[in-house]
Structure 1
Amino acid sequence: MIHHLRRGVAIWALCAGSALAQQTDISIGMVLEPPNLDPTSGAAAAIDEVVYANVFEGLTRFGPDGAILPALAESWTVSEDGATYTFTLRAGVTFHDGSAMTAEDVVFTLDRARAEGSTNAQPGLFANIVSVDAPDDLTVVVTLDGPDGAFPFDMAWGDAVIVAPESAETNATNPVGTGPFRFANWAQGDRVDLVRNDAYWGDPVALEAVTFRFITDPNAAFAAMMAGDVDAFPNFPATETLAQFEADPRFSVIVGSTEGETILAMNNGAGPLDDIRIRQAITHAINRQDIIDGAMFGYGTPIGTHFAPHHPDYVDLTGQSAFDPDTARALLAEAAPGGLTLRLALPPPAYARRGGEIIAAQLREVGIETEITNMEWADWLERVFRGRDFDLTIISHTEPMDIGIYAREDYYFQYARPEFVALNDELARTTAPEARSALLAEMQQMIAADYVNGYLFQLAKTGVANASIEGLWENSPTQANDLTGVRWTQ
């Protein structure tokens, strides 16, 4: 008997009563193609979605529940003053090119990330490092400028994965890591292929081959899933079709939460948005629930600051920027009596394109016109994120616990209020949980009171997969498609 499966693959049962061979390859759908494949030199979430935990690993890593787990470091200790971390590395780890991973590679990675001129997108993760030393091949000693209870958390980010000096400069197009999958091919505009790393130091993975396919259009994503051209779409863009998948026994629908604060980002460093009255007017013109319903078909949790609602330290500040068009009009009459037209730059994700049209209509109701530009991802990164050439944009910040970006002077929305920077610095030096919670609450309240951005909703994780697949993450504690525990059940 022949069973015809996706892409025309046939699996034979050799005799009556024999079981079909278990499938060992998988095709994963993604909305955005990464601009490169080096998580240590790029800000795009799509990079980590391909390589985090699959190709590259750090000293620590995020588990599916957000816990910080050992990775290349099997353990670590902290000095009494909280300022020195000693990591014990796993023995026998090799990079995909066969070279040994040692403490010297960790020293190279951390020194490179914190060096002047570093292209790392998250320099704050390394800013408090004073020195990194390697007493022997399996020991790394990191000395900080003060106590930092969050340092193992920081080292779990994709931006902190360990790379080798021999391959660091070419990781963007030919990534060489230590993970359970090796890079095989990148057909730009179409897919990235990975294969199993049979020399992996850890537990072997079930999958032998992985293909990440890039499908931006929601209708095309729906068609690809229905046709079996992709086996799973962990961040499915066509949420309006989820009911169809739920009713079809061939599929499972996986709904969870993400770290993605979806915001209407504003350029605080240039007029007219350097005027808090205009930023406040914009926030009061926005009806969050209309955006969640219209752009996300009801999936999403309203937020009033840059913090995940599922985090225990979240402060609900949605009332401070509640939908109030009359207040918005009054503020605009005072701040911009001659009217206002703003540029609205929209990257490819459906939440941005659909949400942008809704927000443009809401702003028009209070007297703000918008000039919408739909941008490809690479152009958005260059012009908006790096070039800061924008007025408004819509983006989900999917990095975990990333409120510290508001302390960065070079960050694209250009806030960095000195009092906020001081709070962020104090947070880095604070280890007591109660004191950290108080600081985080004050930081949330400050950026909400300054109306730095329009805080819209926490991005839901809505995934669709073949019902025979297990092990995909339900929630997204970081921006990743971790396939280390994924397998076919039949």
Structure 2
Amino acid sequence: MFNWKQLGTGALLIGALALPQAFGADQAAAQARKDAAVLAMVLEPPGLDPTVAPAAAIGEITHINIFQGLIRILENGQVAPLLATSWTISPDQTEFTFKLKTGVKFHDGTDFDSADVKSSFETYAGEKSTNKRKAVFTNIASIETPDAATVKLKLKKADPTFLFSLGENTAVITGPESRATNATNPVGTGPYKFGKWVKGDSVMLEAAPGSDVKLKSVTFRFISDPAAMVAALLAGDVDGVPIGLTGENVPQFEKDKRFTVTVGSTEGETMVSTNNKRPYLSDVRVRRALAHAIDRKAIIEGVNFGYGKPIGSHFPPHDPAYVDLTGKYPYDVAKAKALLKEAGAEKIELTLKLPPPAYARRSGELVAAMLADVGITAKIENLEWAQWLDVVFKNFNYDLTIISHVEPNDYVKYAEPNYYWQYDSAATQGFINTANSTLDPAVRTKALQDMQRQIAEDSVNVFLYNLPRITVAKAGLKGLWVNAPIFVNDLAALSWQ
């Protein structure tokens, strides 16, 4: 085990900064490409239907581009019309009437109308649904379609986040004719249609007939290794990385006039997720010991070169209801050891199962070293993305992991005892229920703040930092988002200048 305390901000360099400025025979051709673009992603999604699987990588490719919802979420976090042209809301916020676009067709040539909205939402609420926002749709008491261009939704109880939820990728409208095969052959109403998927390498989208997008095709290449991603940018093999590079790469690309660099915010709460039902970890004293044992500032500096704002609970710092709880568990080795001794958990061994992203793998090394300082052996197991989804997320076969939860409003998962961290608190469930049902902004804010404090008090997970959105692209490629209220790449906004 290395001594993490000797690490400086340059100690975790992966060699990227030593790469040559340009190489590869294809660079000239890549530079001349003006009707297409290649974007790099860290993770390959397990499928391409965001309504049946939880991976955020699905939406990065298909949301807004292939699949559209009634509503879209803008880069500033506001909602705007998409397949719906307008809507009205009853005073008690339980009835929503949407007017729909007419003349819209799915990529397979079938017509879009109100029946597709009804069948989509009923499917997402169904008994066999695996939609990660299923509760949004089970809260719909009735769906009426008085004509092809009108949909009336009546909720069982008011939901102040309902419109925003309809703008997420879990609420996209799909046709019954293609719904069963959307994971491998996605069919939507968006400006791009599915081209091809080369497993392990890339997904290519093509401009849909009649769409007015600037680029005829966009390819997403999957590059999990940070050094390879930097090399691909420098060689001209990829045109942009919307998110996935770490802070160490920023100075190099800022100095290179061939590229533009932006640093924005996301909804990503990066944390050491803890299986609250495992031996030892079911004891809150052990979980609190973990929080005291981990120096989040050292991780932010060592892994992300200072990019990323510390958090003390599962809530993004830019939200108006945010409570700064970073001081609740200060880095304190002696306190951590005392809590472990009190819990009878000295010199224990835990598994630390890590997904592929660089922030997770590299944070894992630091976390393991920090835990060793308090007598905990963290056995690192590196998993591929599909393995992580199966082993950790689906089957709960882990003690600790490191992941960034990037979905907006995903604090609701703390009200689900069967979610992968297996946390069950009546108090927390009450706060979340209040926040998601009240129409009083002050009551909602208080409930959200009480929820944050309760999660911190129970030390459900070790909260590290808010994930930054570091975007690097060729200087001529315009339209990539700076901030990410949702994880999406709006390809219709892309153009070469």
Q: TM-score range by the shorter chain?
A: over 0.9
TM superposition shift of 1:247: 0.6
SS state of the match for residue 212, structure 1?
strand
Partner of 2:20: none
Equivalence for 1:380: 388
CA distance in 2, matches of 1:196, 1:79: 38
Match among 9, 12, 17 for residue 29 of structure 2: 9
Number of the residue aligned with 1:16 = none
Determine if the alignment matches structure 1 residue 225 to structure 2 residue 233: yes
| Aligned equivalent of 1:94 | 105
Q: What is the match of residue 328 of structure 1?
A: 336
Question: Does 2:44 align with 1:46?
Answer: no
Counterpart residue type for residue 325 of structure 2: L
- Does structure 1 retain, via aligned residues, the 8 Å contact 2:271–2:464? yes
1:439 aligned to 426, 438, 447, which one?
447
Q: What secondary structure is seen at the aligned counterpart in 1 of 2:460? A: coil
* Distance change in 2, residues 1:5/1:255 (3 Å): farther
1:157 aligns with 2:177: no
Q: Indicate the larger mover: 95-104 or 422-431.
A: 422-431
Shift of residue 482 of structure 1?
1.4
What is aligned with 1:15? none
Matched, 1:127 2:138: yes
| Superposed displacement of residue 336, structure 1 | 2.5
Distance 2:306 2:138 in 1: 39
Question: What is the one-letter code of the residue matched to 1:182?
Answer: K
Instruction: Tell me if the contact between 2:303 and 2:362 (Cα under 8 Å) persists in the aligned partners.
Output: yes
Structure 1 residues 337 and 260, CA gap change in structure 2 (3 angstroms):
closer
Between the aligned partners of 2:299 and 2:404, the Cα distance in structure 1 is 14
Q: Secondary structure at the match of 2:356?
A: coil
Distance 1:131 1:322 in 2: 49
Cα distance change on mapping 1:238 and 1:338 into 2, 3 Å: closer
Q: Contact 2:276–2:421 at 8 Å: present in 1 too?
A: yes
Amino acid at match of 1:452: V
Read off the aligned partner of 1:187 and give its amino acid letter.
V
Q: Which whole-Å CA distance do the structure 2 matches of 1:56 and 1:333 have between them?
A: 53
Q: Is this contact kept in 2: 1:180–1:197, CA < 8 A?
A: yes
* Alignment-mate amino acid for residue 240 of structure 1: E
Q: Structure 1: how far apart are the matches of 2:354 and 2:292?
A: 21
The residue correspondences of 1:270-419 to structure 2 (distance < 5 A) are 270-419=278-427
Q: Is the 8 A contact 1:237 1:349 kept in 2?
A: no
Cα contact 1:30–1:233 (8 A) shared by 2: yes
Q: How far did 1:222 drift?
A: 0.7
Partners of 1:416 and 1:60 in 2: how far apart? Answer: 33
**1:80 CA displacement:** 2.3
Which residues in structure 2 correspond to 1:203-218 (within 5 Å)? 204-218=212-226
Q: Go from structure 1 to structure 2 and tell me whether the alpha carbon gap of 1:142 and 1:231 turns closer, same or farther (over 3 Å shift).
A: same
Q: How many residues align?
A: 474
Structure 1 residue 126: Cα displacement: 2.0
Q: Give how far 1:6 is off.
A: 4.8
The answer (yes or no) to whether the contact 1:308–1:314 under 8 Å persists in 2 is yes
Residue 11 of structure 2 corresponds to none
Contact map agreement 2:288 2:336 (CA 8 A) in 1: yes
SS at match of 1:9: helix
Residue type at the aligned position of 1:278: V
Deviates more, 1:31-40 or 1:127-136: 127-136
Counterpart pick for 2:483 among 471, 475, 480: 475
- The superposition leaves residues 290-331 of structure 1 with CA deviations (integer Å, 9 ceiling, x where unpaired) of 111111121111000000001111100001122111110100
**In structure 1, what residue type is equivalent to 2:84?**
A
Q: Output the CA distance in 2 between the equivalents of 1:84 and 1:10.
A: 51
Q: Does 1:104 align with 2:115?
A: yes
Normalised by the size of structure 1, how large is the TM-score? 0.94
- SS of match in other structure, 1:380: helix
The separation in 2 between residues aligned to 1:253 and 1:236, in whole angstroms, is 13
Contact 1:236–1:464 at 8 Å: present in 2 too? no
For residues 334 and 10 of structure 1, the distance between their equivalents in structure 2, rounded to whole angstroms, comes to: 61
Question: Following superposition of structure 1 onto structure 2, how do residues 58-207 of structure 1 map, counting pairs within 5 Å?
Answer: 58-200=69-211, 204-207=212-215
Deviation at 1:198, TM superposition (A): 2.5
Q: CA deviation at 1:182?
A: 0.5
Q: Secondary structure at the match of 1:460?
A: strand
Using the TM superposition, give the Cα deviation of residue 57 of structure 1 relative to its aligned residue in structure 2, in angstroms: 0.8
SS in 1 for 2:368: helix
**5+ residue gaps in structure 1?**
12-20
Whether the aligned pair in 2 keeps the contact of 1:221 and 1:238 (CA below 8 Å) is no
Contact 1:196 1:209 in 2 (8 A): yes
- 2:261 is paired with a residue of what secondary structure? strand
* Shift in alpha-carbon separation, 1:416–1:88, aligned structure 2, 3 A: farther
- Secondary structure of the corresponding residue to residue 138 of structure 2: coil
Q: Which amino acid aligns with 1:195?
A: E
Report the residue type matching 2:449 in the other structure.
Answer: A
How far did 1:207 drift? Answer: 1.1
Which residue identity is paired with 1:229? D
Letter in 2 for 1:389: N
What SS class does the counterpart of residue 493 from structure 2 fall into?
A: coil
Distance apart, 1:72 and its partner CA: 0.8
Quick one: structure 1 residues 188 and 238, their matched pair in 2 at CA, closer, same or farther if it must change by over 3 Å?
Answer: same
2: CA distance, partners of 1:481 / 1:137 = 30
TM-score normalised over the length of structure 2: 0.93
Residue pair 1:219, 1:238 contacting (<8 A) in 2 also: no
The amino acid across from 2:342 in the alignment is E
* Alpha-carbon separation, structure 1, partners of 2:57 and 2:191: 19
RMSD: 1.5
**Aligned residue identity for 2:29:** V
Match of 2:36 among 15, 25, 31: 25
Cα displacement string for residues 435-489 of structure 1 (whole angstroms, at most 9, x for unaligned residues) = 2111111111110110000000000011110001111100111011111211000
Distance 2:144 2:307 in 1: 47
Q: Does the 8 Å CA contact 1:396/1:459 hold for their aligned counterparts?
A: yes
Structure 2: tracts of 5 or more residues without a match: 1-23
Which residues of 2 match residues 227-266 of structure 1 at below 5 A?
227-266=235-274
Counterpart residue number, 2:3: none
The list of structure 1 runs, each at least 4 consecutive aligned residues, that deviate by more than 6 angstroms after superposition, is: none
